[in-house]
Structure 1
Amino acid sequence: MTTTLLSHLIELERLLLDPVVRSSKNQISNLLHSDFYEISANGLMFNKQHVLGRLPLEKIPQIYNQDFRGQVLTESLAQLTYHAAYRMNVQHALNFSIRMSIWTKTESGWQLLFHQGTPCPEFALSFDE
């Protein structure tokens, strides 16, 4: 994967964590493919319609992500993996997970097709990225 494509997909992935984007059904809809689905860290499955109904109302948790790796699967599919730590607020302990996203290139740009979070052991947070 080129550095430019990896940087672009990381930027798109992080946009989904931006409070302004998360509060906008239109912006979320533009980032998610019509066939998008997610398997959450607790094993639940969500489709695009569920995410569009949930994210704009959801309190934004504190999320840290790092150690991004990417690979091109086909000309129009790319995979990102990374580590994430999140908590609902400073009073809660951090939850650690490995995240994987598959992005697809469409006529309107790259869109998120699939996302999964899997709990993992605690790791050291790096604030250099």
Structure 2
Amino acid sequence: MAELPTDEDLEVVADCERALLTGAVRGDRDSARLLLHQDFREVGQSGRVWDRDCVLDLMESEGGTDAARAEDLVATGLAPDVVLVTYDSVTKDGRARRSSVWVRDRGRWQLRAHQGTPAPQDPTA
């Protein structure tokens, strides 16, 4: 029976998730491309579905600015080579509950699916 991702794997994935929120990665299309799986899909806060190329274009258009701050980030192994990351993203415009599914593909952790849901400003609500 294959084992779940290790604690080290979970730390790597959590760091990758945080990196995708930074201007340094968002402003560097090649760096962002390495972190997004070729079949990446996102369901945004608005309900709009984004593919990899659309998200890369959006990140590039933001000019390398930080997107958000992650709060209460938790990475959990779901299956061999699959990790779920959940957290709240906080920006000047509000808060969202986020979930990401990361897969290890050819030895590299990549974001396969991401979803955001608007959340109340008070994280305890």
TM-score greater than 0.5 by the shorter chain: yes
Identity percentage of aligned residues: 29
Residue among 52, 55, 74 paired with 2:56: 52
The CA distance in 2 between the partners of 1:100 and 1:38, in whole Å, is 10
Structure 1's 66 and 108: CA in aligned 2 closer, same or farther, altered over 3 A?
A: same
Higher relative contact order (CA 8 A, sep 6+): 2
Superposed CA RMSD: 1.7
Gaps (5+ residues) in structure 2?
none
The one-letter code sitting in structure 2 at the alignment partner of 1:96 is R
The yes-or-no answer on 1:63 pairing with 2:68 is yes
Unaligned runs of 5+ residues in structure 1 are 88-93, 125-129
Structure 2 distance, partners of 1:61, 1:7, is: 21
Alpha-carbon distance, 1:2 to partner: 4.3
Partner amino acid, structure 1, of 2:15 = E
Q: What amino acid is the match of 2:44?
A: S
Asked if 2 retains the 8 angstrom alpha-carbon contact of 1:98 and 1:118, the reply is yes
Amino acid at match of 1:5: D
Q: TM-score normalised to the size of structure 2? A: 0.85
Among 35, 38, 47, which residue is 1:34 paired with?
38
Which sits farther off after the overlay, 37-46 or 53-62? Answer: 53-62
| Partners of 2:22 and 2:67 within 8 A in 1 | no
Q: Counterparts in 2 of 1:1-129, with a 5 A limit? A: 2-59=6-63, 60=65, 63-87=68-92, 94-123=93-122
Give the alignment's TM-score, normalised by structure 1.
0.82
Question: Runs of 4 or more off by more than 6 Å in structure 1?
Answer: none
